[in-house]
Amino acid sequence: MTIDLAGKVALVTGGSRGIGRAIAERLYGAGAHVAILARDQARAQEVVAALTGHGQALAVRADVAVTQDVEAAVGQVEQALGPVDILVNNAGFTRDGLLVRMSEPDWDAVLDTNLKGAFNTTRVVARTMIKRRWGRIINITSVIGLTGNRGQANYAASKAGLIGLTKAMARELASRNVLVNAIAPGFIDTDLTRGLAEPARKALTDQIAVGRLGTPGDVAGAVLFLASDLADYITGQVVVVDGGLVM
């Protein structure tokens, strides 16, 4: 079955690398016009240049933690491509450390990007979705938001908060046909995991039922499904894409 998103406008935050890039590529491949929002516009532009097809693509520079950046970026997207139909809140990063040693700036930076960033983008984009009575919002959280993890109190809190935000938004927006869901990836094969020594990589893999790390494409496939008409009766859910890591 082919999923057709022709005519839809998708905005992917943190879409210049890794999972975000795979999501942008998958949505574009399904026919959507895609805007990639990232702090590094040059890298986002590289992704745009690599996209080939009939849709339009746009690279926009913004820090999702800064409200004014987000408002300006969404304005650019709407002017160039039209109102946003599909929002993927993927922007996020880590600053790991044990709780008792974690600095306040490291706590704030992770919460500001991973959680406040999703609040900022959704608050702006949802206004138009409500008026048009159609929208899909997909938040990329993490299995760490479900289980917690030693040395990642800030990251775990931000991703658990994103799950709560997803459910609250889903309840508020469902009556306007704006559906909000989250995807919780497990261990994904990205630049971070590729840098692990082989024993550490094997230790990760041994915890996964299917016996391999996930790929960015595995996450992108779940996003594509939730963005499509196949998911018209799904909202407020957390789809765990982890190969059986957390059961």
Under DSSP, is residue 147 helix (H, G, I), strand (E, B) or coil? Answer: helix
Q: Could you tell me how many helices (H) and strands (E) the chain has, helices first?
A: 10, 7
36 φ, ψ (degrees, to nearest 5) = -105, 120
For residue 3 the two structure tokens come to: 């999923």
Note if 155 is an active site residue.
yes
Neighbours of 51 (CB within 10 A): 15
* Selected catalytic residue, list 21, 32, 37, 155: 155
User: How far is the C-alpha of 99 from the C-alpha of 240, rounded, in Å?
Assistant: 26
Comparing CA positions, the residue from 59, 81, 62, 78 lying closest to residue 70 is: 62
Q: Which positions are catalytic?
A: 155
